[in-house]
Structure 1
Amino acid sequence: MRIDVLTLFPEMFTGFLSQSIIGKAIEKGAVQVNTVNFREYATNKHGTVDDYPYGGGGGMVLKPEPIFLAVEDLIAGQAVKPRIILMCPQGVPYTQRIAEQLAEEEHLIFICGHYEGYDERIRQHLVTDELSIGDYVLTGGELPAMVVMDSVIRLLPGVLGNEISAVTDSFSTGLLEHPHYTRPAEFRGWSVPDVLLSGHHGEIAKWRHRESLRRTWQRRPDLLQNRELSEQERAWLREWEEERGADSRQESDEA
């Protein structure tokens, strides 16, 4: 995969691209990442990339010319237009499903803005996707771009040491991930569940599935609204709902 990042602050990506799994992915050749300071594509001698908004208002707006020229330079000679992603709080909420879709692409271009916003013509006539990592505002698109890049690059073949890891991550299966334990088997009186020490792979898989469902039911019940539940999953949910009701009645009696 090839990833190009348009940013006014390419230095922000130095540590991110050189460390941990992302750095190793680049070393292996699984992904090629190129940061581009789009100020280099400004059309005047002062390197101006922003201007006051028409109609007045606070803040500055990124001009269309540098962004368009930078992207056109990056895709020159390509037969197929790559996904051009604008990181923006107005964008589509980012999910694991979108990460999986982006991981299938050969070329991605991220546009990281600053200041008040983008000239609307960038949205209308250049980008293919607008993505948001949450309902809050940051000073620029660099950190959101890193979040998306990290989630995509780790899905590329050969990037993770254990290929099963990406498949069983939270959200990849539609459920939150089950609890994990490691040595020692007992710590300060807290023990690892016996089933995980049993060596019975079928029972372990069943326990993990059950605990994934339980954790999702407890923490993100919204994820279950559109899930097609099996008979076993419905039985577990009924069991937990009954337990919750019994606990609520007991608390009410004690009060």
Structure 2
Amino acid sequence: MRIRVAKLLVLLWSLCLFGVAQANTTIRVLETYPSGPSISLPNNWNFHLRLAYATDVPVGIWIQPFFQGKRVPDAGTSPSAQYAGEGEAVAWFFFMRPGEEVDEIRITAGDGRKNPVVATYRVHVVGTGSSAAAETSPAWVSAASARVAAAEKQAMDASMREPVGIVTRLLIFALGLTMLALGLSGLALPLWLCWRWRGGWRFAAAMPVALMSFAVLRFEIEVTRDPTSHNLWPLELLLFALCSLAISAALLIARKLTGKPIRSN
């Protein structure tokens, strides 16, 4: 009985300490970039918050964009380092698609499992989806970007120093060849069908050719306008190539079922 009472007292004491530690974590917004009560955020821009914090225990600091009381789902947010004592931190968010809005930013702090809201910041931010000319950002934004770049470089250097086994290299090489073969087949197979078939079948075989042509032309136009609009273009083209292969395979099966020969000439 005494052991149970002692455990209960320890648990209550821990909860009290945790509550005091959370209550002693304070955060306030010093400034933002871009600044102002109502902001139009261009494409590929981040909305930065310069934060002052004071905490008795090590915590992470995160932000959550909200609009009309609901979390904005299509908004990416910055990661967090661990902070203790007093100092400044920088957090940011960005829109993944144009037209999104934010009217409140909730700032949370905790150990990653329990992260209560310790501050809120009211601001109206709208994603325009349009590009904007580059401009000189404040020193605190540039410093934060430099720290993130340095951390990413350090992580990349650490991963590059790790030895890669022969099996992993062979798998990567085989994966690259497979993706290249699928991409080329997505254009080569429908072109071959267009060359071999006649009449309505040729018109049907031209559909995946038009799909691939549209994908390449679209990428060319959008990348010319904004070089960062398709950073994952190889994967996007691979998806279009897979769709082209699926359509061509369906046409081959349909032609086989109708008793038509695969080759018409």
Same fold (TM > 0.5) = no
**Counting strand residues as a fraction of each chain, which structure ranks higher?**
2
Larger Rg: 2
Q: TM-score range by the shorter chain?
A: under 0.3
User: What is the TM-score of this pair, normalised by structure 1?
Assistant: 0.20
User: What is the TM-score of this pair, normalised by structure 2?
Assistant: 0.20
